[in-house]
Chains A and B, each alone.
Chain A
Amino acid sequence: MSLHFLKLTPTFEVRYILDVIMKTVHARSLDPLPMQGPELGFQADDIERPDMEQESKQEVLENKVVIVQRVHIDGLGRTKEDCLTYEIADVFRAKNLIDVMRRAHEARQKLLRLGIFRQVDVVIDTSQGTVVQGVDALPNGLDVTFDVTELRRMTGSYNTMVGNNEGCMVLGLKLPNVFGSAEKLTFQVSYGTKETSYGLSFFKPQPGHFERSFAVNLYKVAGQFPWSSLRETDRGVSTEFSFPLWKTNHTLKWEGVWRELGCLERTASFAVREESGHSLKSSLSHSMVIDTRNSAILPRRGALLKINQELAGYTGGDASFLKEDFEIQFNRHLFWDSVLSASLWGGCLLPIGDKPTCIADRFYLGGPTSVRGFSMYSIGPQSEGDYLGGEVYWAGAVHLYTPLPFHPGKGGFGDLFRTHFFLNAGNLCNLNYGDGPQAHLRKLAECIRWSYGAGIVLQLGNIARLELNYCIPTGVQSGDRICDGFQFGAGVRFL
């Protein structure tokens, strides 16, 4: 879930007929509102201050007490009304005209957030005639109407993707609002030259509380990991509940996965060969997120705290472990246009019982999206060139983002690029859980790998980030593979 800052300019006309004067008032949106929910894809526009032509009229509009007598929604087809009444209920509580406009705007945002309407228009009018049975129109009564256009019942998409010596064709099918209460069903098949993957997912928000939702996923995903000479095929099912609690967002998930591991080539090391075979993992996980950043890709302010734990083995399956990991990030705006950002990641995997941990559950470190200057996931325990991952890791970074020197292309294309200076550090190892915490801390503190450098960052909308860095890795241990000099990285989540 990412946080979007949407600045909208809905135009709605307020025809307010005073006793004597008819006046048309155009009102612009007041403040941008933070939003959470499924993707919407709106363009950002500029805000304009409310623009009242005459001061006296503004006073009148603010001070005039109004009552909202009727709020209704036009243009509903298959959407059930009861789930929408929660979204628009707030409008009834408005006290004066400015309040009505603000609450109507908020209700519009909520209706759009459901992801089932293509367009929502608001019309505020005075109530005339008989509003409902037995209730006559009041002289200061208002009638608010939402004109909606529902999305099509089914949309499809077709893409081709090329990458990592593999080409594939991706077919997607999306059914928004399947049963009328904003449920969403998506199906995706990726048919590639090497592997085939598919996924089916059903998402249902709770009517009235859109932040609380329930999702079921069914998937088969195949992946190849050349740094470990490992091939992994996962077939699984997962169910998750998401709900907010005070300022935090929680997600509870149960997942059952049938994992099949194999060697990518004949020259794989024996340690990786020993991990081949089938296993079943059935795990419960909980994740808590507090995200106050303005953007997930290249934030300028705000902080992120994410704590995730996973317990496997108590609901069946072969794998049995407790896994904890966390992610912290702070961003602060400094002088001029620069941003200072600090982040810390860490995690540990505790096996429960006698069986050792599986290579598919362990942590990996290194690469253009984590400790820069090292090859992809090429830090830590390894055997004959294949990286086996570790049970404990930590990684930290400090970045300074500045605009491009000499500001080329300012105001346009140049604003998408930023230069950054970074310092990354991290360590990945296996712990002997018999020793005390002192020994553990000491082991994590010795053999720290770190790197520093500078580079250019390009932000691709709110979807991804590209980086080209010049890195100088230091603290390299024997067995690590480095990538000093220029390194290119693309992704969503960067250290």
Chain B
Amino acid sequence: MCNLPVHVSCRSNAEYMSPSGKVPFVHVGNQVVSELGPIVQFTKAKGHSLSDGLDDVQRAEMKAYMELVNNMLLTAELYIQWCDDTTATEISRPRYSSPYSWPLNQILAYQKQWEVRRKMNAIGWAGKSLEQVYEDVSQCCQALSQRLGTQPYFFNKQPTELDALVFGHLFTILTTRLTSDELGEKIKSYSNLLAFCRRIEQSYFEDSQAGSSSRGYSKGPSLF
């Protein structure tokens, strides 16, 4: 969205390469910066920012919505992938263990599952049922949908970090194959969110797919 040249590289050990243990991270010159918050600050220090046009109230509002997305959508995604037994067995563990050979793949997949479940215990989500989680996602989407209304982006005409974060999560939920389509359907029930996702995909990723050699973005899943 900032029009900066970027090369996306997929590695099986990306999680371990990152200095904080979390993806995504960027490698710029000599520096490695991980997670969205620090990356945004890093690009801002270099002079590129999406939220320059916002005043303080709007910036605070943006931060609040980003926190909501992180607390709700991210946690729900982790819950569905690792705490739901069917999804974990059929999708998450095989996918997580695919780069490694036996018995390391089993060890690492179970280690990841235990780690996520411990985290869910710590924040109190362990007792929730799948239905409750879907309900929480639905409420979060409702709040986002209300904020978006009929505008093209969350804050008027220009995309901000909030748009990037929401797009990232919603796009992933809509295009990831799970054991049931219920989560995707919940999102699709909010038509303005769906249109929002399609719009961003068209404006920013269709171009790069056409000129994929220069951008280095591999042909991935699509909403269309």
Contact = CB atoms under 8 A, between A and B. Distances in A.
A280 B100 contact: yes
B32 A273 contact: yes
A318 B104 CA distance: 9
B100 A273 contact: no
Nearest to A317: B101
Contact of A276 (B17, B30, B100, B107): B17
Interface in A302-353: 316-318
By secondary structure, the A interface counts as strand
A202 B107 CA distance: 25
Question: Which of B11, B12, B101: most chain A Cβ within 10 A?
Answer: B101
B101 A280 contact: yes
Interface in A247-304: 258, 261-263, 266, 270, 273-274, 276-280
A389 to B, nearest CB: 18
B101 A316 contact: yes
Given A270-B27, A273-B32, A278-B108, A318 B101 contact: yes
Contacts of B94: none
A384 B103 CA distance: 35
A316 B105 CA distance: 12
A258 B16 CA distance: 15
Contacts of A277: 12-13, 15-17
B27 A276 contact: no
B95 to A, nearest CB: 16
B17 A258 contact: no
Contacts of A273: 17, 32
Contacts of B101: 280, 316-318
B27 A278 contact: no
Contacts of A317: 101
Interface in B181-213: none
A220 to B, nearest CB: 13
A342 B106 CA distance: 49
B224 interface: no
A246 B37 CA distance: 68
Given A266-B19, A274-B17, A258 B104 contact: yes
Contacts of A258: 104, 107
Contacts, number: 39
Contacts of A274: 11, 13, 17
Interface string A193-229: 0000000000000000000000000000000000000
Interface string B1-39: 000000000011101110100000001001010000000
Nearest to A313: B101
Nearest to A260: B16
Contacts of B104: 258, 278-280, 318
Contacts of A278: 13, 16, 100, 104, 108
B89 to A, nearest CB: 21
Interface string A8-19: 000000000000
Nearest to A280: B104
Interface in B162-177: none
Contacts of B107: 258
Nearest to B25: A273
Contacts of A316: 101-102
A266 B15 CA distance: 15
A273 B26 CA distance: 13
Contacts of A279: 100, 104
A364 B14 CA distance: 26
A261 B16 CA distance: 9
Given A258-B104, A258-B107, A316-B101, A276 B16 contact: yes
A317 B103 CA distance: 8
Interface in B60-111: 100-104, 107-108
Interface string A428-447: 00000000000000000000
Contacts of B11: 274
Contacts of B100: 278-280, 318
A277 B108 CA distance: 11
B107 to A, nearest CB: 7
Interface string A100-128: 00000000000000000000000000000
B16 A262 contact: yes
Interface in B34-71: none
Given A258-B107, A317-B101, A276 B32 contact: no
Contacts of A266: 19
Contacts of A318: 100-101, 104
A277 B18 CA distance: 10
A61 B104 CA distance: 69
Contacts of A262: 16
A66 B103 CA distance: 64
Interface in B103-127: 103-104, 107-108
A480 B165 CA distance: 45
Nearest to A272: B17
Nearest to B105: A280
A385 to B, nearest CB: 12
A317 B11 CA distance: 18
A316 B101 CA distance: 7
Contacts of B12: 277
Given A266-B19, A270-B27, A276 B102 contact: no
B128 to A, nearest CB: 31
28 contacts: A258-B104, A258-B107, A266-B19, A273-B17, A273-B32, A274-B11, A274-B17, A276-B13, A276-B16, A276-B17, A277-B13, A277-B15, A277-B16, A278-B16, A278-B100, A278-B104, A278-B108, A279-B100, A279-B104, A280-B101, A280-B103, A280-B104, A316-B101, A316-B102, A317-B101, A318-B100, A318-B101, A384-B30
Given A280-B104, A318-B104, 16 more contacts: A258-B104, A261-B16, A262-B16, A270-B32, A274-B11, A274-B13, A276-B13, A277-B16, A277-B17, A278-B13, A278-B100, A278-B104, A279-B100, A279-B104, A280-B103, A318-B101
Interface of A: 258, 261-263, 266, 270, 273-274, 276-280, 316-318, 384
Task: Return the 8 tightest CB-CB contacts between A and B, nearest first.
Answer: A277-B13, A277-B16, A280-B104, A276-B16, A273-B17, A276-B17, A318-B101, A280-B101
